[in-house]
Structure 1
């Protein structure tokens, strides 16, 4: 499952800085495994709480009676993607134990937007929602545009048992980013969920066994096409029907080519970006993948995410873009003998440059018209408890955007996944960003406008000049809409 970015204006920081503080899905992927929506509830007697964690809010303690609620029933809707739904079932059960008498009803589906949209339109939304996946996130964008989300600032400013506000326990910069505080007023309307790291992956067993050096620059990566051919595979594949995955290379490459200024141009709809040298350099990488000998695996453009990822695991391509959910999402897929997941990150454009990675944090919300906001806020705060963080790692193999979460999750993560989060210690640069919200009523979905036409570039049906001309016009119109709405 592919997460959304947590900074719309884009922020860049060294991964080591993030993880010194304690931490370490154009998003078009759907779930692997069972996908039916469901509603489950239970009620059990209370269990002793864990001790107050240093990384999160505490659960109710035995010495402190659990809070009671005027309305004890909570309806939640969650995206069932690569993280599955088992975590949500488990954490709901634990919450109901710690808050006896409460009842949580869960609706989970890869197409969660289709299930909740009619309820939102009717003014009867779920009390709590976790929305992800590109097919679903437009409904979240709509709620932001309509200012239909509950202000969560009090949840994060509230102090836990240790007297520390919850906001101080969230990864630095996350709550301040536009994706969590979308209106620039310092108020928080979207709560962070799992933290992800994205970039290029490879078969570590193949590289180690044959002494193949991992490329540190794009030139080194393209030069390894010959080595790929010697080993019976193409250089590269990606989730062809979902070219949004290519953002995992594109966004870090934009920063590598032009720094923060270029990222600001790209995410804030400056039309001149599409005439810049940065554009030509970064999209030139895509053109080379499409045209160089043995660079792109045959048939890639027609494959969905599962098919392309399986082909990679079976040794048909040397590199593929994906995120930290990759290993768990494909745990049952066939693969070549001895395969081991290896994470490369994103190569530097020039010798001496830093290898980078794209980072993201997913979001959870409480609709403004939720029937039970008090219980929804209590449940949200509970999700940041040590108990919940460990459950999330055990059941979903995810790492919450909370300081100290990777180490709390370590026992439930594969060595590969844990090491990716701890790559911060080696100075890998983390880049993040997302598009500024368009004007209300706009016909444009920026992610679709930017990434979907890349399929035509990869199939050699669209030139870079024609693509850039189209995007120049799109950005110009989006900018005009924002200026007319007073949002620019």
Structure 2
């Protein structure tokens, strides 16, 4: 069962998970072809044959982009692609965007970079890509849109204005939820919990095995959305999720809020439930502690194994993915998904060639190359099987579980008013640290967020966005 939320997919967590790897940035021009004409293998002509591409360089690296650019230039003789890659890609492209001279094509990810996408959306400064997805795929038959995972192009992650037009093309997608040591569970005959009652019942098992129940990336409490968002949907359905993401203040007085955040409050207050020192740990420290057997569960995404491939761990450790438990036994375990985005600025100098390059990225050859070089999985049907040879068995199993029917949900916040002082993610997730260290009650937190949402709504009305 796939639950395709009608809200936009977000890339904050994928960005956090992709901040490993080669951090060197800069520009490079892939091997320049000697052919001077502008024809492709199919005979297509381009008046402008130069393409400037800017990409986020995190855990996925840049090798895929350099290689696919070389392949494209080989198949389209006479074209020239220049790749600029950096972990701080927004800092490099923002002055160009402000000056009206943006790159022709951009892959933007990472929490420090994605606000630039919000700005482009608010300014309506992105190219309509609908024609790319309505055009025939590489087989020349069905339209390309039929190859994309269900619900993605229809969500605000691709259609931010809700008008059915695609302005942001899907790239890699991740699956997020709770992880555990599969080897321990198999050896001890422990069943992965499917409900929150079963989850908390495992606290006794955790103690018996010399560990605490739960940890998370304490200095980056945004990781907790990986369990919060699916639980909101599980309790309150799409209506509650829409309230949460569309800044309805009444969400913070709802039974859904009380149930979902009640899980966090119970973790904070129940003996042995929260791993000691969690709140002061960064992501790699908490993840290492989990792998060393200090806690039973941790939230994370499909980048987890590759990100921590060199980290110490307890003997025999194996990554196991649970998803997120439900409150009721008759409801499914649900995973959170996110989809990264590719865009062509409205003021790009070469949108025609940029669209052709975008379409090229969805070819089977590119999907396999992306998996080989970056260990990423594109948001296209069948991508897990195409990537299987290049990703770990446990990572494949996570993607395959979603491909085979594990419940999924995705979503992100509606854009705030231009110039707003509020970052919704920060307003919601940062105070959770105070809940976990018992300095902030749920009632105080609820009142705080009710005021934030009310102020955001006021700003939207004053800005004419409502």
Q: Would you say same fold, with TM above 0.5?
A: yes
Q: Partner residue of 1:113? A: 90
- Picking from 430, 440, 456, the partner of 1:452 is 430
- Picking from 337, 357, 377, the partner of 2:355 is 377
Q: Does 1:135 align with 2:112?
A: yes
Q: Partner residue of 1:340? A: 318
Q: Give me the whole-angstrom Cα distance separating, in 1, the residues matched to 2:50 and 2:247.
A: 43
Q: Partner residue of 1:77? A: 54
- Picking from 139, 155, 159, the partner of 1:177 is 155
Q: Give me the whole-angstrom Cα distance separating, in 1, the residues matched to 2:235 and 2:81.
A: 48
For residues 327-406 of structure 1, the aligned pairs below 5 Å read: 327-406=305-384
Q: Give me the whole-angstrom Cα distance separating, in 2, the residues matched to 1:330 and 1:145.
A: 36
Q: Partner residue of 2:265? A: 287
> The residue matched to 1:224 in structure 2 has which SS?
helix
Aligned pairs, number: 457
The CA deviation string for residues 98-154 of structure 1, in whole angstroms up to 9 with x for no partner, is 122222222222222122212212222111111112111111101100111111111
CA change 1:27–1:94 in 2 (3 A) is closer
Q: Give me the whole-angstrom Cα distance separating, in 2, the residues matched to 1:483 and 1:171.
A: 35
Q: Does 1:41 align with 2:19?
A: no
Confirm or deny: 8 A CA contact 1:272 1:472 kept in the other structure.
yes
Q: Give me the whole-angstrom Cα distance separating, in 2, the residues matched to 1:96 and 1:314.
A: 46
What's the CA shift for 1:27?
6.0
Q: Give me the whole-angstrom Cα distance separating, in 2, the residues matched to 1:27 and 1:378.
A: 26
What's the CA shift for 1:426?
5.9
Confirm or deny: 8 A CA contact 2:157 2:339 kept in the other structure.
no
For residues 176-215 of structure 1, the aligned pairs below 5 Å read: 176-215=154-193
> The residue matched to 2:389 in structure 1 has which SS?
helix
Q: Give me the whole-angstrom Cα distance separating, in 2, the residues matched to 1:403 and 1:30.
A: 23
> The residue matched to 2:70 in structure 1 has which SS?
helix
Confirm or deny: 8 A CA contact 1:10 1:267 kept in the other structure.
no
Confirm or deny: 8 A CA contact 2:21 2:60 kept in the other structure.
no
Q: Does 1:31 align with 2:19?
A: yes
For residues 312-323 of structure 1, the aligned pairs below 5 Å read: 312-323=290-301
- Picking from 149, 152, 155, the partner of 2:126 is 149
Confirm or deny: 8 A CA contact 2:30 2:83 kept in the other structure.
no
Confirm or deny: 8 A CA contact 1:26 1:448 kept in the other structure.
no
Q: Give me the whole-angstrom Cα distance separating, in 1, the residues matched to 2:362 and 2:207.
A: 47
Q: Partner residue of 2:451? A: 473
Q: Does 1:302 align with 2:280?
A: yes
CA change 1:421–1:304 in 2 (3 A) is same
Q: Partner residue of 1:433? A: 411
Confirm or deny: 8 A CA contact 2:8 2:158 kept in the other structure.
no
Q: Give me the whole-angstrom Cα distance separating, in 1, the residues matched to 2:426 and 2:130.
A: 31
What's the CA shift for 1:481?
2.2
CA change 1:468–1:248 in 2 (3 A) is same
What's the CA shift for 1:438?
1.5
Q: Does 1:126 align with 2:76?
A: no
Structure 2 unaligned spans of 5+: none
Confirm or deny: 8 A CA contact 2:181 2:317 kept in the other structure.
yes
What's the CA shift for 1:271?
0.6
The CA deviation string for residues 282-339 of structure 1, in whole angstroms up to 9 with x for no partner, is 0011111112111111221122212211221222211111111111122222211111
> The residue matched to 2:225 in structure 1 has which SS?
helix
What's the CA shift for 1:183?
1.3
Q: Give me the whole-angstrom Cα distance separating, in 1, the residues matched to 2:76 and 2:40.
A: 11
Confirm or deny: 8 A CA contact 2:17 2:303 kept in the other structure.
no
Stretch moving more, 225-234 or 241-250:
225-234
What's the CA shift for 1:69?
2.7
CA change 1:180–1:7 in 2 (3 A) is farther
CA change 1:119–1:10 in 2 (3 A) is closer
Stretch moving more, 184-193 or 117-126:
117-126
> The residue matched to 1:104 in structure 2 has which SS?
strand
Q: Partner residue of 1:21? A: none
- Picking from 198, 223, 226, the partner of 1:220 is 198
CA RMSD of aligned residues (A): 2.2
What's the CA shift for 1:163?
2.7
Confirm or deny: 8 A CA contact 1:10 1:264 kept in the other structure.
no
> The residue matched to 2:51 in structure 1 has which SS?
strand
Q: Give me the whole-angstrom Cα distance separating, in 2, the residues matched to 1:153 and 1:330.
A: 38
Stretch moving more, 353-362 or 382-391:
353-362
Q: Give me the whole-angstrom Cα distance separating, in 2, the residues matched to 1:68 and 1:458.
A: 60
CA change 1:392–1:419 in 2 (3 A) is same
- Picking from 101, 110, 115, the partner of 2:78 is 101
What's the CA shift for 1:178?
1.4
> The residue matched to 1:95 in structure 2 has which SS?
helix
